[in-house]
Structure 1
C-alpha cells in the first residue's frame, strides 16, 4: 500500500513537471511540488523499511 501511494504521488509530480515544461501551466506551485515529492519520498522509505522488516521476520 505504501509503495503504491509513493508511485502515485511520484506520478503526480512527473505529470506536473511535464505540464509545466510543455504548456507552462503546472497545476502545483513550487511549494506544492516540493510537498508532493517529499511525501512520495517518505512513503517510499516507509515501504522499503516495512519490506525489510517483513523479510527479517520471515527468516
Structure 2
C-alpha cells in the first residue's frame, strides 16, 4: 500500500534527524517507527517485516529506544 504522509514542519525535521542518526532514509525511519509501535502494542499479524525485526528478548527492545 502506498500512502502519502503529511507532516508538520516540526515533525518533518524530527523524522529527518532520526533518519540521519540511524543512517537510513526518512521512509525507512518511518517504517521502523511503525514496526516499533506495533511491537509495543503487542500487535502480531502478517505484516511484512514486523516479526523479522522483533527483538529476540524484551531487553533488546530497550536498545531500540
TM-score normalized with structure 1 length? 0.35
Structure 1 or 2: larger helix share? 1
Question: Which structure's CA Rg is the greater one?
Answer: 1
Q: Which has the higher contact order (CA 8 A, sep 6+)?
A: 1
TM-score normalized with structure 2 length? 0.32
